[in-house]
Amino acid sequence: MNNYDALSDDYSRSHEKPDKKYSMAPTALSIVGSLHSKKVVDVGCGDGFFTKEFAKTAGFVYGIDNSEEQIKKANKDAKNIEYQLVDMNDFTYPSVDVIFAPFVLNYLKKTESLESLFKKFYDSLSSGGLVSGIVDMPQSLVHDMRKFGSIKRIKRFDEGEEIDIELYNGTEHITTLHSFFHKKETIENLLDQIGFTEIAWHNPIISPEGLDIMGSDFWEGYIKNCDLAYFSAKK
């Protein structure tokens, strides 16, 4: 849906959005927990925003993405990481302890495609392994979180409905992306049917740095009205 080869430079600028810089990364790290000696796959790694964070403490991290330009950027600073240019649906996943899948579920329109990907994840994970991810999940037809980094628009809350996502850093419009809507119940049911347990949804957190730099007043209403859903499940 999104040509990240063409969008590569613009998308990299999204790393400075307040929600991404001060909430997405710390929330993801909090959910996956200690990565000491663990192997991780970052699905849809882009230029390595999350991958590099995981690699600071993990045993080894695989970053996969289908954008050549994004992988080129990621490889400029690859330590303890192996990046691969591959489609997540065709990738032969190695045996790992953690799979992190930010936003990529929203690139699959059909529940059958979600199920197939979850099966790949399940087969790849070690016993007790964790899958976690971030899902675009607006709470209103026009979910305006521009102050924090995005405006999301959807016509109706049906499975597979298209979401238009405008990314902002302050008043600056960075780029517009497109994805598909999935309900929490759909994701939960698929994970459960495949065999995952301890399926959970997590509230976002804000880093101490974000509170210090932006101020607590800036973040008022963010957690309650967040347009992202964070999930985890265990094998």
* Cα gap 111→5, rounded to integer Å: 26
Residue 103 DSSP class: S
Ordered mean pLDDT values, 10 residues apiece, the chain (235 residues): 87 93 96 97 96 96 96 84 96 98 97 98 98 97 97 98 96 96 98 98 97 96 96 98
Q: Evaluate whether residue 194 is within a structural domain.
A: yes
Q: Evaluate whether residue 169 is within a structural domain.
A: no
pLDDT at 4: 86
The per-type count for the chain, helices as H runs and strands as E runs, is 8, 11
Residues with Cβ < 8 Å from 170, sequence gap 6 or more? none
Q: Evaluate whether residue 48 is within a structural domain.
A: yes
Q: Evaluate whether residue 8 is within a structural domain.
A: yes
Per residue in 65-121, pLDDT (tens digit) is 999 999 999 987 667 999 999 999 999 999 999 999 999 999 999 999 999 999 999
Q: Evaluate whether residue 23 is within a structural domain.
A: yes
pLDDT at 75: 85
Domain count within the chain: 1
Q: Evaluate whether residue 163 is within a structural domain.
A: no
pLDDT at 1: 73
pLDDT averaged over the chain? 96
Q: Can you give the CATH number for the domain in which 53 is found? A: 3.40.50.150
pLDDT at 174: 95
Q: Evaluate whether residue 151 is within a structural domain.
A: no
Range of the domain at 97: 4-137+182-234
Q: Evaluate whether residue 93 is within a structural domain.
A: yes
Report pTM.
0.95
pLDDT at 76: 77
